[in-house]
Amino acid sequence: MTAKLTREQIVSAYTQLLGSERVITDEQTLKENSVDRYYKVENVFGIYSLPVPAAVVKPSTPQEVAAVLALANENGINIVPKTGGSATEGGLETVIENSVVVDGSTMNEILSIDTENMLATVQCGVCLEDLETELRKIGYTTGHSPQSKPLAQFGGLVATRSIGQFSTLYGGIEDMLVGVETVFPNGQICRIKNVPRRAAGPDIRHLVLGNEGTLNFITEVTVKIFRYFPENNRFYGYLLNDMKTGLAILREVITQGYRPSVARLYDSEDGLYHFKKFSNGQCVLIFVAEGPVRIADATGAAIEEIVASFGSAERVDGALIEDWFNNLNWDVSKLEEERIEIRETLINGFTTEISGNWSVIGDIYDNAIARIRAEVSADFTLLGGHSSHSYLNGTNMYFVYYYKIDVDPTLERTTYHDPIQNIIVEETLKLGGSMCHHHGVGKHRTHFLAEEYGSSLYMLETLKAAFDPNGIMNRGTIFPLTK
Ligand SMILES: Cc1cc2nc3c(=O)[nH]c(=O)nc-3n(C[C@H](O)[C@H](O)[C@H](O)COP(=O)(O)OP(=O)(O)OC[C@H]3O[C@@H](n4cnc5c(N)ncnc54)[C@H](O)[C@@H]3O)c2cc1C
């Protein structure tokens, strides 16, 4: 649908709906809301090139969200849903003129913590760390710990299918989400109730999970909570000569049925970056066993036995791994310092995360790294990766690449990031893997959507046409932009 209102009319209509205090139009806020990714050149160098949104609006109830969306739906206004703002793949980029960013961060109440049914219900703008802090005070945990925990909020966590560091035990957000309330572009508010399981037709929670703001706006989330036994945590670290042995060990631990909360394997370059003190340029394999003491002990003993059965791994002190974990989460307070460092050194980087079955993941890793080295002309300060989330059938690979920006900073993405990400995705799809493991499609991987989905693209496109017939929800995200 083409836009029916001018920029001024859009601002005026939303001001009438929400009042001027909740319709933000100052130039700097609008610029900052035209992009995501904290270390993008736009944010680092202050060079904003995308169309800036007409306004950032802040509804405070599901009914207000419904009115905001309905107004956009009737008038062809592109809506970009937002909560914590920690997206990395362009999901928050306002690529359409006169978009409206709908910021749910003021809906930030923890509504209930129900320790009998093991549920916590929060509004979409509750920061994960805030809920986690409240739960830990009473001996519980969400089990969810993405590195962006200090910033990410529940709307975005659900909308991107996020996953945390303890996923091997607790799963990703899709395993944690019990019920949800969400609003569709026509203003329809839908609630999916909280029950332990259901078989009444398809699981419609998956129309909400991972929709990246392209189908509906999430207003309330209920997640599982778990008992928390940090005193039982056991930390294990090993040095290995090669990735394939590490992947084989991960596979053995998981397929034997053990569920350490953390199971990670770093290649030599990424290992050196994270574990300077002890990695000596080798691959680093890490496990954490947690839970009730008998389970933690049994899991830990099995890990030691399985690793020993592969012969060549050298054990490192578990205290070093524990110390590393305690400092792993993103420290938002250092953001400005880090931006200054990027401006001074011109060293920046990106990541690309994919997944594949056990039989192909090692080849995806080898082939992608070999092609990047051969085809991308860049002064790399780090080119490597790690596996951080393992499953019965396979694992993910999180490629990390840092380089010196030797071009005009505005060309950074097209010179370095896009070619590198394209190689990783091409090598993944070639061997049947998935092009995104947890950051979402955003706006930067949409050109691979048809190949990723194959014949099932029909299902995805039909959902979009049914729920967002006027195409107002986050255009250019997940679904490639058409003229
Ligand atoms: C330093 C850093 C570390 C990270 N580590 C991890 C990690 O370990 N694991 C992981 O999974 N991700 C990680 N991420 C990515 C990101 O933090 C997560 O994807 C997170 O879930 C996004 O939540 P948010 O509230 O910040 O969402 P936002 O950035 O606000 O939005 C993300 C996407 O969801 C949509 N959206 C936001 N709110 C809503 C809503 N209410 N309804 C519908 N759609 C909505 C947006 O349009 C956008 O497409 C990391 C990011 C950074 C910057």
> Which tokens belong to 232?
């039982």
Residue 338 clears pLDDT 90, i.e. is over it: no
Is residue 392 within 8 A of residue 254, CB to CB? The reply is: yes
Quick one: pLDDT at residue 4?
87
Q: Report residue 397: phi and psi, to 5°.
A: -135, 125
Task: Give nearest CA residue, ligand 1 atom 10.
Answer: 162
SS (H, E, C) 413-457: HHHHHHHHHHHHHHHHHHCCCECCCCCCCCCCCHHHHHHHHHHHH
Say if 110-227 and 332-440 have the same CATH topology: no
Q: How far apart are CA 475 and CA 285, in angstroms?
A: 40
Of ligand 1's atoms, which has the minimum distance to the CA of residue 213? Answer: 44
Q: What is the pLDDT of residues 210-257, one digit of tens each?
A: 999 999 999 999 999 999 999 999 999 999 999 999 999 999 999 999
Q: Which residue has the tokens 């056990």?
A: 358
Quick one: pLDDT at residue 299?
98
DSSP symbols for 139-184? TEE-----TTTTT-BHHHHHHTT---TTHHHH--HHHHEEEEEEE-
Average pLDDT across the chain, whole number? 95
Residue type, 482: T
Quick one: pLDDT at residue 39?
67
Residue 483 clears pLDDT 70, i.e. is over it: no
Residue 49 clears pLDDT 90, i.e. is over it: no
| Integer angstrom CA distances of residue 405 from 40, 99, 140, 275, 481 | 12, 31, 45, 25, 28
Which alpha helices (DSSP H) does 160-262 contain, by range?
167-170, 173-176, 243-255
Which one, of 296, 237, 285, lies nearest residue 261 by Cα?
A: 296
Residue range 110-227 forms a domain whose CATH class is: alpha beta
Give the DSSP letter of residue 116.
Answer: T
What percent of the chain shows pLDDT beyond 70? 99
CA of 478 to the centre of ligand 1 (A): 14
CA of 328 to the centre of ligand 1 (A): 18
The order of strands in the sheet holding 23-24 is 23-24, 55-57, 100-103, 79-82
Residue 455 clears pLDDT 90, i.e. is over it: yes
Quick one: pLDDT at residue 3?
77
Please give the CATH topology (third level) of the domain spanning 332-440.
GMP Synthetase; Chain A, domain 3 (3.30.300)
Decide which of 44 and 462 is more confident. 462
Is residue 217 within 8 A of residue 105, CB to CB? The reply is: no
Q: What is the pLDDT of residues 394-452, one digit of tens each?
A: 999 999 999 999 998 888 889 999 999 999 999 999 999 999 999 999 999 999 999 99
Of ligand 1's atoms, which has the minimum distance to the CA of residue 38? Answer: 53
Residue 150 clears pLDDT 70, i.e. is over it: yes
| Integer angstrom CA distances of residue 95 from 251, 304, 332, 345 | 42, 51, 26, 29
> Which tokens belong to 381?
């300060």
Ligand 1 neighbours (beta carbon < 6 A) = 36, 38, 80-88, 91-92, 104, 124, 146-148, 151-153, 155-157, 159-160, 162-164, 212-213, 217-218, 330, 438-439, 474, 477
Give the DSSP letter of residue 127.
Answer: B
Residue 454 clears pLDDT 70, i.e. is over it: yes
Mean pLDDT confidence for 61-83: 98
Residue 137 clears pLDDT 90, i.e. is over it: yes
Mean pLDDT confidence for 350-378: 97
Which one, of 98, 87, 132, 135, lies nearest residue 114 by Cα?
A: 135
Of ligand 1's atoms, which has the minimum distance to the CA of residue 163? Answer: 11
CATH code given to domain 233-324: 3.30.70.3450
The angle subtended at Cα 33 by Cα 27 and Cα 38, nearest 5°, is 120
Q: Which residue has the tokens 């996953």?
A: 163
CA of 465 to the centre of ligand 1 (A): 24
Element (H, E) at 235: strand 234-240
Where are the domains positioned within the chain?
Answer: 7-105, 110-227, 233-324, 332-440
Mean pLDDT confidence for 345-357: 94
CA of 403 to the centre of ligand 1 (A): 24
Please give the CATH topology (third level) of the domain spanning 7-105.
3.30.43
CA of 156 to the centre of ligand 1 (A): 4
Q: What is the pLDDT of residues 163-195, one digit of tens each?
A: 999 999 999 999 999 999 999 999 999 999 999
Q: What is the pLDDT of residues 457-480, one digit of tens each?
A: 999 999 999 999 999 999 999 999
CA of 191 to the centre of ligand 1 (A): 22
